[in-house]
Structure 1
Amino acid sequence: MKKASILLIFFILIVSCKQNKKEKGQIVSEKIEFTEIVKEDYELYKPNKEIKGVLILFGGYPESADDIKREFQILDIARENSIAVLLSNFNQKLWLKENEKHQLAKKLQDIVVENELPTENIFVGGFSSGGVVSLLISDFIIGMKQFYIDPKGVFIVDSPIDLIALYKSSEKNIERNFSKPSIQESTWLLENLGKNFGNPKDNIEKYEKNAVFTYRTNNISNLKKLKRTKIRLYTEPDTLWWKENRMADYEQMNAFYIKKLSESLAQKGFEGVEYIPTTDKGFRANGEI
């Protein structure tokens, strides 16, 4: 999955949670010290003094906290702006079961409480499949009264939000037989989606129940609690790269469904949604596309 520049993404937190904005050109002379807390399932970097906000990040399908830290070098920016950053090791999820939502929400709240983090400016974001987790868990937290860590904003970066689209695209990729990585990923997706939900032409309700968005039926039932939450949808619709490397059409790309989701949310009265397509930002830390 191609990824966007973290500097652009982090702008959501800097802009949204600062109530007293600094004048342009103002220099912060005091160096803000961070405490680093490394646990089995997360890493936390928090200012030693005032904490103005909390940013919770979920990585892509195989990514751990270390991977997020390497690919998205935001800790210096967070330090300068007194932002605590929680890097989660929770990954390898394209959907969340109900018990997983309960467990993850409780875990996040426990981390906030144990580390005395503020709850009024929490932002959640994720890259690729981590964006799916971010949206689903944020909707769940806001909808459950026992949790008091409601996110103020959520963002995703090039996330596979439509499970039916993944299934149908995988069928096309295998039939096309063009790219070995694409065939391997598509075979895995068909096996796992089929095992859990069956074929979408026979079991569309199961896909709607678990997906962030189902374009075919315009279903956003797993996002309803986010109607008053700021949402940013980042994607890089690099159609040329996908055509050359995967022979994929625009309608097979995450970018297509992310744009359609933004349109659907706007039609349904979600006022805080921003769709942000990027250009030439989709590079890894080592320079690879």
Structure 2
Amino acid sequence: MKHFSILLFFLICQIGSSQSVEKIVLDEEDETSGYYLAVVPAENKVEGVLVLLPGFGQQAETIFPETKLHKEAYENNILTIGFAAGSRLLLNEEIQEKFTKVLKDVVERFSVDKEKFVMGGFSAGGTIALRYVELCLETPEKYPIQPKGVFVVDSPIDVFRLWEGFEETIKNDKSEIAVQEAKYVTELLTTRYGNPAENVSMYAKMNPFSMNREYGEHEVHLKNIAVRTYHDVDISWRLQNRYQSAKNQNFMATSELINRLLILGNEKAEFIQTLGTGYRSNGERHPHSWSIVDEAECIGWVKNILGK
């Protein structure tokens, strides 16, 4: 755990002298999902909670260098929670239980109203957050919170569609980095759950949304809450750097999700489209980044949802 402590020290420095990050350990044996990070507003004036999840394989600490959401939240008396699901693309039972344990602790430790939560995540973190919110709304008696909103940052919310795209990328064998990612993810999923086409029911249970309605319509549980999807829709970058067209991008599924919610009458469903906004903290241009979210505007949206 020594390297986590060192990283935590630098995080405290980066967050700012007026803010600090608290690491709360619930399971010492789990170095990824057995703890969460909390950025608590001044004088413990917690008027709501923003829960953030990083991407695939990342620790909770990786959130803060990539976005200023926690800083904006701090200034608006919103508690920020960072939780990582580890090397998972989907919300399986194991991570579901760990996440529930964390959120229950947040409610009790900070004396927060269970209905004062908004959840968001980057990449796979958004996929997991979205599915968790659906479950909270489907069977509220089983979960410690009742979220008022959820947002995803360029998240692959349809695993069936994702798999098809990866198969095409591998077949084309044009972009080395894209092929490596596709092979790694498909092999990982196959090892854990088998091929999606042969295990539809298993995948559908963990998958938050499907373009193919026969695989489930979990989105019906989102018809009464605020939902946002964020994307840097730079198709040209994808073509030039990954040899991938629009049909295999994450925004294809999320735009369909938002459209279905609008049809259901959800006037709080939004597709947030940007162009050229994606940059990593190291300066690398990449549309798949936390930076596509306008932090001040997003926290204003969160405040509005929470009724502040």
Checking the alignment, whether the CA contact within 8 Å between 2:219 and 2:257 is kept in structure 1 is no
Residue 59 in 1 paired to residue 54 in 2?
Answer: yes
Match of 2:6 in 1: none
Checking the alignment, whether the CA contact within 8 Å between 1:57 and 1:125 is kept in structure 2 is yes
Residue among 122, 128, 131 paired with 2:126: 131
Match of 1:287 in 2: 283
Q: Distance in 2 between matches of 1:91 and 1:238?
A: 28
Instruction: Kindly indicate whether structure 1 or structure 2 has the higher relative contact order, using CA contacts under 8 Å at least 6 residues apart.
Output: 1
Match of 1:169 in 2: 165
Return the offset for 1:35. 5.6
Match of 1:159 in 2: 155
Match of 2:22 in 1: 37
Match of 2:205 in 1: 209
Q: Distance in 1 between matches of 2:23 and 2:114?
A: 21
Q: Write 1 or 2 for the structure with the bigger share of helix.
A: 2
Residues 41-190 of structure 1 mapped to structure 2, 5 A cutoff: 41-47=35-41, 48-142=43-137, 143-190=139-186
**Unmatched runs of 5 consecutive residues or more in structure 2:** 1-16, 26-34, 286-308
Match of 2:5 in 1: none
- In the superposition, the TM-score normalised over structure 1's length comes to 0.81
Match of 2:248 in 1: 252
Q: Distance in 2 between matches of 1:201 and 1:38?
A: 40
Q: Distance in 1 between matches of 2:164 and 2:146?
A: 34
Checking the alignment, whether the CA contact within 8 Å between 1:105 and 1:141 is kept in structure 2 is no
Match of 2:221 in 1: 225
Distance 1:115 1:207, change over 3 A: same
Match of 1:22 in 2: none
Distance 1:53 1:245, change over 3 A: same
Return the offset for 1:211. 1.4
**Runs of 4+ residues deviating >6 angstroms:** none
Q: Distance in 2 between matches of 1:103 and 1:76?
A: 26
Q: Distance in 2 between matches of 1:269 and 1:171?
A: 35
Checking the alignment, whether the CA contact within 8 Å between 2:140 and 2:146 is kept in structure 1 is no
Return the offset for 1:188. 1.5
Checking the alignment, whether the CA contact within 8 Å between 2:100 and 2:144 is kept in structure 1 is no
User: Which amino acid in 2 is paired with 1:165?
Assistant: R
**Unmatched runs of 5 consecutive residues or more in structure 1:** 1-31
Q: Percent identity?
A: 30
Checking the alignment, whether the CA contact within 8 Å between 1:54 and 1:123 is kept in structure 2 is yes
- In the superposition, the TM-score normalised over structure 2's length comes to 0.77
Match of 2:294 in 1: none
Q: Distance in 1 between matches of 2:114 and 2:212?
A: 37
Q: Distance in 2 between matches of 1:140 and 1:184?
A: 33
